[in-house]
Amino acid sequence: MSQTGALLLIAVATIGLVATAVMLRVRAPRQVVAALIALFAAGVGAGGLWLQDGVQPMDWVLTLTAATGISLAHVRLLLGPFGPPPA
């Protein structure tokens, strides 16, 4: 992938991540929010790896796993629980 494509992937995934964390977090069901946050965080990580040379398969495994887990915990700790408030 070209450098422009990788930067575009990072930008789109970041916009999606922020939009999901801020706007959808309390409107959509928690499973949908968690899946979207994980997907967008993996997109940011993948874009970052595509910018580098000599990336090994284990780099992909560790980066995508860490980006997914850390982003879910980060949004949950900073912004609060996922899903609509209990009625």
Q: How confident is the model at residue 1, as a pLDDT? A: 66
Tokens 């040379």 sit on residue: 53
pTM of the model: 0.89
> How many beta carbons lie within 10 A of that of residue 83, not counting itself?
16
Residue 87 has pLDDT above 90, yes or no: no
Residue 53: half-sphere exposure toward Cβ, Cα within 13 Å: 0
Positive or negative torsion for Cα 7, 9, 12, 18: negative
Could you list the beta-strand ranges (E) of 1-87.
none
Domain chopping of the chain, boundaries: 3-79
- Helix, strand or coil for residue 82? coil
2-60 pLDDT, tens per residue?
A: 899 999 999 999 999 999 999 988 888 989 999 999 999 999 999 999 999 999 999 99
